[in-house]
Chain A
Amino acid sequence: MFKKKDKKKISGSEAVILSLINEGVDVLFGYPGGAIMPVYDAMHDYYDKLNHILTRHEQGAIHAAQGYARVTGKVGVGIVTSGPGATNAVTGIADAMLDSTPLVVISGQVASSLLGTDAFQEIDVVGITQPITKWNYQIKRAEDIPEAFAKAFYLAKSGRPGPVVLDITKDAQFGEFEYEYKKIDFIRSYRPLPKTDYTQIDEAARLINLAKKPMALIGQGVILGNAESEALEFLEKSDIPAAYTLLGLSAIPSDHRLNIGMLGMHGHYAPNVKTNDADLIIAVGMRFDDRVTGNLDKYAKKAKIIHLDIDPAEVNKNVYADVSILGNVKVTLPLISEKVSSIDRSEWLKEFQGLTNIETRKIIKKEINPSHKKLSMGEVIHRVSQAFDDDAIMVTDVGQHQMMAARYFKFKQTRSVVTSGGLGTMGFGLPAAIGAKMGKPDRDVVLFVGDGGFQMTIQELGTIFQSKIPVKVVLLNNSFLGMVRQWQELFFDKRYASTELINPDFQGICKGYHMPSELVESRDKLDSAIKNLVEHEGPYLIEAIVEKEGNVFPMVPAGASVSDIRLE
């Protein structure tokens, strides 16, 4: 008889750290506090394997983890304490849920004997985060840590990705047990990859071959599925023009001849107008968000719809699909490509070009080369993009500058965009840029941020200084909450209710945080400032004072049809 070898017992806290390392985590973002102190204590022995970035607020930690996940495709990890630590993380978790970002968020919790007693810093984290997580779980025994972590990482990254919260009571962190880690790739109640119906592939190919005016809509599913080359192959073989959603941005190169621009409220003119002219829409890994579709009763009424998605609940949710193809688009797109004929659709493409020319003349040229004295957002973004050879990672906050950045920044490679789409979280940008740079240290990371959103998480400048994270920041300052002001101008009779900001001296703030920066108030200073931004080693910020009452156009007004997009 073999004698069972005695394994060394370790604490739950150390098990947390080892489980993270077993899952390939090498950086995490967090903020310590009472109920998570044992885990931080255990982490102290593992700094050679695990780089912990101390943010200035838990919201920043989660957004940083999101930025990291979005550019790497890996699971982002955030760690916070109980009570206020966890509630501060909620915005980031919700943001990750809506944008399908793989996260594991670890929160400390009071000891299990105190649960339900309104103990100090006790809050029902599992209850609060239940509707905004893919899965969450409270760990009350040290022995449950390995399995819960294995399940959390598997769930976060498989199928349609999303955030997972693990709430660990303090006694589980202290408890000792024999640690053993086994990765998980099967849960009987969870089907990450739905079955593909092959008859639907045939039907899709048939419709594509028959279509005179087909249009593809590229969503984030293409990026999450690493299906960029499969998408391009499909588009090129069938010669189908492709528009993208905000989160699908950078999946196909900006200058590709089939790339016809962005969909939706502040997207491009041609794809919005042509949506209602197309006879076939092929939606690839996108979910027909209301910002994309405008008024659903007047959306794509002439078109048959082919919907490819990994999440069965998205099919027929907003727009009825004539053909639905479930599965990872990386697998399903080639099946369709195989069956479609090479058809020359240059006449149909020309129709897009005609509309694009109108937009270029009426909007883009004026935005890039404005006649007014003040700088415009579009021209700053355009010049910054060029200065980085159209090949940087673009991070944005939320608002006018976000839409401008999506419109005027250009891309050569995928996973180059980090922006808050579904939740539209102001304050997302600065911490997300930190995470993006940690994820891709070899690429340039440029953040565009407005003066409103900047002040929501401005304290993360401290994180940039302490952890020496060389992000490039372009602050587009119009002294307004610009997007709300634009709506007030257009739909509320110019009654600017609480949208004007009396701002602090941002240069002084940068100085306080040791952030090298410069102020650009006139056009003749712009190029040299951008040069400094690009060339400066380490973080750098330029604050561009832009036109106060600039508007983002084109625009599909709320409730209007996409083809009623306004050019002015």
Chain B
Amino acid sequence: MKQEFTISIFSENHIGLLSQVSTVFTRRNVNIESITSSESAIHGIHKITIIVFTTREQIEKVRGQLDKLIDVIKSYVFKAEDVIHQEIALYKVSTAAILESDEVERIIRKHNARILEITKEYTVVEKSGHKSETQELFEKLNQFGVTQFVRSGRVAVTKLKKELLSDYLKKIEDEKTTKD
């Protein structure tokens, strides 16, 4: 059965790593729904968050291949309920449409969105939330014409107390010390 998984990949910040990571998915015909990449809470370590729909069996194989990449420190797989996640969306609508009636303002208030910028020609609205929420706002606003719409990849944190990676890093550093 296919379900949604969030994969957190912690890696060294090396050129070309994102391409190595995405190749692992491509080769196994797993489509990436969303991807974000930035520095993690631990200095010098990069974090890539990827969302896919696939089977548990397939995602475990993918995880095995990700961990095999030399510059990947560790990857973790979470089910949707294991993480708290968020996406951000930006909408560009014509300022004239907003001025014509109260409706647009009502929608923005109702959806807890906010206005980032207003010019004579256009207004930029920002909304963060789950995909279904940002999508709903898009459909509402689009009745008045959305000229540009962009949604970010997902960012996610686990429901655990701290990042699993810090424990893992400590463990391997300890191993190194015993070895030395």
Look across to chain A and name the residue whose beta carbon is closest to the beta carbon of B66: A313
Q: A-facing mask of B165-180, CB < 8 A → 1, else 0?
A: 0000100110010010
CB < 8 Å: which of B11, B12, B65, B73 contacts A313? B65
* Distance in angstroms between the alpha carbons of A131 and B169 in the assembled complex: 27
Instruction: Point out the residues of chain B lying under 8 angstroms from A130, CB to CB.
Output: 16, 19-20, 23
Q: Is B71 part of the binding interface, using a Cβ–Cβ cutoff of 8 Å?
A: yes
**B61 contacts partner chain A, Cβ-Cβ < 8 Å:** yes
- Which residues of chain A (378-395) have a CB below 8 Å from chain B? none
Known: A186-B179, A188-B169, A191-B172. A127 touches B67 (CB 8 A): no
Alpha-carbon distance between A155 and B11 when the two chains are bound, in angstroms: 17
Contact partner of A311 among B23, B68, B173, CB < 8 A?
Answer: B68
Chain B's closest residue to A318 (CB) is B61
Contacting pair A189 B19 (CB below 8 A): no
A185 to chain B: closest residue by CB: B179
**Chain B residue at smallest Cβ distance from A136:** B16
Cβ–Cβ < 8 Å partners of A135 in chain B: 70-71
Residues in A neighbouring B70, C-beta threshold 8 A = 134-135, 155, 187, 189-190
Question: What is the bound-complex CA distance between A529 and B61, given in angstroms?
Answer: 52
State the majority secondary structure of interface residues on A.
Answer: loop
Residues of chain B from 67 to 107 with CB closer than 8 A to chain A in the complex: 67-68, 70-73
Chain A, 297-342, CB within 8 A of any chain B CB: 311-313, 315-317
Asked if B163 lies at the interface with its beta carbon under 8 angstroms from chain A, I say no
Q: How many residues of A contact B (CB 8 A)?
A: 20
Contact call A189/B11, Cβ cutoff below 8 A: yes
**Least CB separation from B10: chain A residue:** A189
Complex CA gap A332/B61 in Å reads 23
Q: Give Cα A316–Cα B60 distance, bound, in whole angstroms.
A: 9
Contact A189/B173 with A127-B19, A130-B23, A131-B23 known, Cβ cut-off 8 Å: no
Q: How far is the CA of A317 from the CA of B58 in the complex (A)?
A: 9
Decide: A131 and B27 in contact? CB cutoff 8 A.
yes
A126 at the interface (CB under 8 A from B): yes
Whether A317 lies near B16 (C-beta < 8 A) is no
Q: Please, could you name 15 A-B residue pairs with CB atoms under 8 Å apart, sorted by A?
A: A130-B23, A131-B27, A187-B70, A188-B173, A189-B71, A189-B73, A190-B70, A311-B68, A312-B64, A312-B68, A313-B65, A313-B68, A315-B64, A316-B60, A317-B61
Task: Report the 9 A-B pairs with minimum CB-CB distance, sorted nearest first.
Answer: A313-B64, A189-B73, A135-B70, A313-B68, A190-B70, A186-B176, A189-B71, A313-B65, A189-B12
B contacts, CB < 8 Å to A = 11-12, 16, 19-20, 23, 27, 60-61, 64-65, 67-68, 70-73, 169, 172-173, 176, 179
Extra contacts, 10 of them, besides A189-B12, A189-B70 (Cβ < 8 A), are A126-B16, A131-B23, A155-B70, A186-B179, A187-B70, A188-B173, A189-B72, A312-B67, A316-B60, A316-B61
